[in-house]
Amino acid sequence: MKTFYITTPIYYVNDSPHIGHAYTDIAADFVARFKRLDGYDVKFLTGTDEHGQKIQRAAEKAGVSTIDFVSEVSKRFVALTPLLNLSNDDFIRTTETRHKKAAQHLWSLLTEKGHIYKGKYCGWYSVRDEAYFDEKELINGKAPTGSDVEWLEEESYFFNLSIWQDKLLAFYKDNPTFAQPSSRLNEIIKFVERGLEDLSISRSSFKWGIEVPGDDKHVMYVWFDALTNYISAIGYPGDISQYWPADVHMVGKDISRFHAIYWPAMLMAADIALPKQIIAHGWWTIDGEKMSKSIGNVVSSQQLVDELGCDQTRYCLLREIAFGNDGNFSKSAMIIRINAELANNIGNLVQRTLSMIFKNCEGLMPKVSTDEIYNQKLLNVALDTINQVRLTINNTQYQNSLEAIVNLSNHANLYIDEMAPWALAKTDRPKMEFVLTSLAEVIRYIGILLQPITPIAAKKLLDMLSVERRDFAALSKEYMIKSGTIIAKPEIIFPRAEI
């Protein structure tokens, strides 16, 4: 079986999750669920990033021990799995022994291979970003992200990042789709072309981190530790060949540098294969400003799910903005979207068709007596939709994947209006049965295709149609709903959202 390994970033546990985090989770979950239905053995990983100075300071501020603090906040991220209906197979915490062992093993390996050395670090550090910045990168004395920076001078271990510059550039050239969207890869290439400096990868001014093997004065720089999660979760330093190299690391654009430069260089140095793709999304903003816990302008995932519903939240987050771009958060735009596409378009199609079958055909799929079993033109659109969804997913155009499903529903709605089966019920019963069969079959396709994005409604819909086989291999004539199949009394799958 083909495998597919997809990851989200591991989230800092300095505060509660907001929809910026939900966004990465939902996008990765959408792809993971899609690939499972498309016949892959999928591994979907998420987790929490629990070390570093930022976390230590947050715990101090909260007045609790650091380990109690991270365990408590990590639970809020674990709770996203049921809240957002995520299908992750694992949840890694960087304070777990399996992770610490893996990070220490990687460190020792790089030391043995001569890629780590001891030196002295002097430079600008932003605790909020847990990142180092060059003097030339600062804007008005602040990090390019707007965060405060502090001058650091300390003994540190270094990773010889600079020697990987040419190899990285050659790798990007050979793998032009390595980072998506391509504009991101261009930024990365420009950054690497300007020259890379060796990376300080240990800290001795605080203790909250993974101990550097053989030197208890130092803890690992949190990004060295964090990036390793992608292999520690699948059993590194044991055999990771079942899922590695990862197919996709889904990340926000602010952390693409760590994933597209540091991580590949670390892996090259360790002689481990590189991930196949880094997909970077844009930011949810409020009045043009990045939604962020440090700024305090956040919408919590819980709040949005309570107001819109889980399926609807998932749908809107992926449907509202083109993946890769920033988007301003607007709840009213989401409500309009839910009503137009989910309630009026797909919901009505289902309601109209199934209630007619329920009332006029005794709740059983009719037996069509004409030569054709269903309207071929309409069914061709249904058959082609999976190709469009697959293509757009592979091109990271998730917004368009959802649009393709709505489009199919549009076609079916036009057909129902044109054929007016409610009138045929009185004048031409065989034709009515033909029309309803065609529509029910299209609805079966819609139900199967909706599973990755609105899993709860899709299940309800497929249950109403008594559909047994639900993976994408069932998107063919062979699995059409048989006449005589019980069609349940329709329940509303997508209620209207209230302003």
Residues 6+ apart with CB under 8 A from 19: 284, 291, 298, 299, 300, 301, 304, 317, 329
Q: How far is the CB of 40 from ligand MSP (least distance, A)?
A: 23
Q: How far is the CB of 256 from ligand MSP (least distance, A)?
A: 9
Which residue, 38 or 49, has its beta carbon nearer to ligand MSP?
Answer: 49
Which residue, 11 or 159, has its beta carbon nearer to ligand MSP?
Answer: 11
Cβ atoms within 10 A of the Cβ of 372, count?
Answer: 11
Give the SS3 label for residue 64.
coil
Q: How far is the CB of 318 from ligand MSP (least distance, A)?
A: 12
Which residue, 229 or 339, has its beta carbon nearer to ligand MSP?
Answer: 229
Residues 6+ apart with CB under 8 A from 186: none
Q: How far is the CB of 262 from ligand MSP (least distance, A)?
A: 10
Tokens of 5: 């390994």
Long-range contact set of residues 171-174: C-beta below 8 Å, sequence gap at least 24: 171/264, 171/268, 171/274
Q: How far is the CB of 21 from ligand MSP (least distance, A)?
A: 5
- By DSSP bridging, strand 248-252 and strand 278-281 are parallel
Residues that bind ligand MSP (CB under 6 A): 9-12, 20-21, 23-24, 49, 226-227, 229, 251-252, 254-255, 283-284, 290-292
Q: Is 109 left (phi over 0), alpha (psi -120 to 50) or beta?
A: alpha
Q: How far is the CB of 280 from ligand MSP (least distance, A)?
A: 8
Pick the closest to residue 313 from 444, 184, 457 (CA basis). Answer: 457
Peptide linkage before 176 cis (omega within 30 of 0): no
Which residue, 9 or 309, has its beta carbon nearer to ligand MSP?
Answer: 9
Distance between CA 60 and CA 82 in Å, rounded?
A: 30
Which residue, 218 or 290, has its beta carbon nearer to ligand MSP?
Answer: 290
Q: How far is the CB of 9 from ligand MSP (least distance, A)?
A: 4
Distance between CA 118 and CA 204 in Å, rounded?
A: 12
Q: How far is CA 149 from the centre of its chain?
A: 30
Pick the closest to residue 153 from 223, 200, 196 (CA basis). Answer: 200
Which residue, 23 or 244, has its beta carbon nearer to ligand MSP?
Answer: 23
Q: For ligand MSP, which residue has the nearest CB?
A: 252
Which residue, 251 or 475, has its beta carbon nearer to ligand MSP?
Answer: 251
Which residue, 301 or 409, has its beta carbon nearer to ligand MSP?
Answer: 301
What's the N-to-C CA distance of the chain in angstroms? 46
- C-alpha distance from residue 495 to each of 238, 301, 320, 365, 485 (Å): 49, 20, 19, 25, 26
Q: How far is the CB of 499 from ligand MSP (least distance, A)?
A: 24
Distance between CA 188 and CA 407 in Å, rounded?
A: 36
Q: How far is the CB of 444 from ligand MSP (least distance, A)?
A: 35
Which residue, 49 or 441, has its beta carbon nearer to ligand MSP?
Answer: 49
DSSP string, 426-495: HH-HHHHHHHHHHHHHHHHHHHHHHTTTSHHHHHHHHHHTT----SGGG-SGGGPPPTT-B-PPP--SSP
Q: How far is the CB of 99 from ligand MSP (least distance, A)?
A: 11
Which residue, 24 or 437, has its beta carbon nearer to ligand MSP?
Answer: 24
Half-sphere exposure of 15 (CA within 13 A, CB side): 17
